[in-house]
Structure 1
Amino acid sequence: MALVGPAIGITVTPGKTGLVGVPVWLWTAVSPTTWGPNTATASVPGLSVTATARATQIAWDMGDGTVKVCKGPGTAYFTGGVHSPTCEHVYVASSAGQPNDAYRVTATATWEVTWTGGGTSGTLTVTRSSSTTVRIGELQVLVTG
């Protein structure tokens, strides 16, 4: 059974710069390996065990000291969207001065794995992580009059 970290979706894509105060949407692409369900069976003569894994949440370490926990996979950005209906973060400071002038974002999915076989069953929890970086800048406006 292959379980991987979230397939990070974020509105501030590589090569782009987001802005302080503007919501950053957070999501994962949903697949058997990134969100589940994912089921596998292992067998030997006279015994088989079946396990099913489902992600239950993603903890987004935003690199600025904030960890945002989202209970679902999030909602992919759509044109015209301002606030994510499910999972977002608003940076309050620029990433200037961070390594490579970018915040390191780490998404950690928590998976619940249930298994049954050989006349018994159980549940275990595992985590898988993925990372990316985001650049956040400030927009300053000068008004003269």
Structure 2
Amino acid sequence: MDLTGETVPCRSAFGWFNDSDDCYYGLLDPQPPGDDPLWQGNYPSGAMYQVSCTGPLPGTNGGWTWLPTPPPGFGGVSVTPAELASRAVDRMQLVGPAIGITVPPDRLGLVGVPVWLWTEVSPTTWGPNSATASVPGLSVTATAQVQEIRWDMGDGNAVVCPNAGTPWYEGGIESPTCDHIYEQPSVGQPDDAYTVTATSTWDVTWSGGGASGSLTLTRSSSTTVRIGELQVLVTG
């Protein structure tokens, strides 16, 4: 019902009716670019709406406007800050470690020789990584960072490293940050190789909409290593 007491539809081609100002509000789709001056510096908070107010000609006396929250009567679907945080995490596209290892699948390592372990450092494999998810009137930003990587080496042993590891360099023997020494060759394993699985633990914090929280995620990747024994030939 509008200010004159006349019954009007709650929704029309112009959007949802707000009986406090006799205007229809429709969410702009797509929203203007974040650098559009129509946002008046408010992006990404709130949303832009097309406003059409009642009058002699329906759909006149309006325009575009920014609002921090949906107007009264707007029939948007409600969403919690935690649900938006989950959407923000999905946008980060977090993955398992980009495995670096001194014994790639096409080479043979040796029993007793340190195998260096590391990951390529990027926003999706190590962090930090941030993303924002928004709906009209609510915006949540999440930030993720790996805290440790667990390397299951395939021989029954695991190495937990609270760092990204150190890429091998010419002349390096023992890694200064993360490595493993095999005590038995991989012969007899599937394809005569150990399966190495690296699992990163991501700590995620988020805030927005007057709420905040944290969650822990894991992402894994794997490779194989072949380990042999150094044979010493004795002649005499």
TM-score by length of 2: 0.61
2:158 maps to 67
Distance in 1, Cα, partners of 2:231 & 2:193: 19
Q: Secondary structure at the match of 1:100?
A: helix
Distance in 1, Cα, partners of 2:223 & 2:104: 9
Q: How many positions carry a matched residue from both structures?
A: 145
Q: Which has the larger radius of gyration?
A: 2
Amino acid at match of 2:165: G
Distance in 2, Cα, partners of 1:102 & 1:81: 24
1:123 maps to 214
Higher strand proportion:
1
- Superposition pairs for residues 1-145 of structure 1, below 5 Å? 1-145=92-236
2:72 maps to none
Deviation at 1:28, TM superposition (A): 0.2
Deviation at 1:13, TM superposition (A): 1.1
Unaligned ranges ≥5, structure 1: none
Distance in 1, Cα, partners of 2:190 & 2:175: 28
Distance in 2, Cα, partners of 1:10 & 1:119: 44
Unaligned ranges ≥5, structure 2: 1-91
Q: Secondary structure at the match of 1:77?
A: coil
Higher helix proportion:
2
Amino acid at match of 1:5: G
User: What fraction of aligned residue pairs are identical, expressed as a percent?
Assistant: 74
Moved over 6 A (4+): none
Deviation at 1:124, TM superposition (A): 0.3
Distance in 2, Cα, partners of 1:2 & 1:121: 21
